[in-house]
A = this chain, B = another copy of it.
Amino acid sequence: MNSNIATIITTCHTCQLSDLCLPYGLNVNEIESLEHIIRNKRPLQAKQLLYSKGDECKSLYVVKSGGFRSFLINAEGSEQTINFYLPGELMGLDALFSGSFCSSIDALVTSAVCELPLNRLNELCDKIPNLQHQMTRVLSKEISHNHDQLVLFGNNSAKIKLASFLLILSKRYELLGCSSTEFNLTMRRHDIANFLSLSDETVSRQFTALSKDKIISVNQRAIKILDLDLLKSIVEHSEEEDSLFFNKRASKAM
């Protein structure tokens, strides 16, 4: 059937994403070894689960196209979105510790992944030091990315949260070679709200507020950033305006 398509897709050295992905820093032979262990799952439809929390982790996954979200379900049964994944990003890294997935992941839109069987990946890491180092780098990157996210949540105001969110997305799209000022959101308002710990209505209100100020234009999931500097200034000057020299609570100790 379309097995030839799968073959094409699994070729790292013709993949536009390879610089953002595991092959980064590997030589031609090493990339070829990596290619041989990659399997392709059939594309996932929106809302379809890639894996569930608690499942044994037999593979890691790289986003090939589309987008995903990871989430946890807390004691009351409500979801908390942990992260969004764009093409080139590795999913499942939190499972390496315990051997089973610590969160669930589903597709936001129709999406494709590269599957990396863990046993073969580990074998390869033992053989190719560069790959092992790249794995370590990817893990470390995920940690520092999570830290940035925690800082984002430290800014309590809904306006700042949404502005930060858009700026982060803008950067990630730029890295992918897409436009940094014009892109389509892969996620629904509800997903954004849940991710930012806001209500759906608040997210909606902030979108319209940013529109009215001509900072962005919104049409459904299509976003245009009209004034990048103004968007940045929302995040940066959050507290300066009102209190420059007077009691700034949090920032006493250098």
Contacts and interface: CB of A to CB of B under 8 A. Distances in A.
A80 B82 CA distance: 19
Nearest to A250: B78
Contact of A96 (B80, B83, B137, B236): B137
Contacts of A240: 76
B147 A102 contact: yes
A143 B139 contact: yes
A180 interface: no
Q: List 3 A-B pairs, minimum CB-CB distance, nearest first.
A: A96-B140, A75-B236, A97-B140
A51 interface: no
A170 to B, nearest CB: 16
A73 B248 CA distance: 14
Contacts of A136: 96, 135-136, 139
Nearest to A236: B75
A7 interface: no
A194 interface: yes
A74 interface: yes
Contacts of A98: 144
A126 interface: yes
Contact of A132 (B132, B238, B248): B132
A174 interface: no
B97 A144 contact: yes
24 contacts: A47-B253, A76-B248, A77-B248, A77-B251, A78-B249, A78-B250, A82-B147, A82-B150, A82-B151, A83-B147, A93-B140, A94-B144, A96-B136, A96-B137, A96-B140, A97-B137, A97-B138, A102-B144, A102-B147, A103-B147, A132-B132, A136-B136, A139-B139, A146-B147
A253 B199 CA distance: 16
A215 B197 CA distance: 27
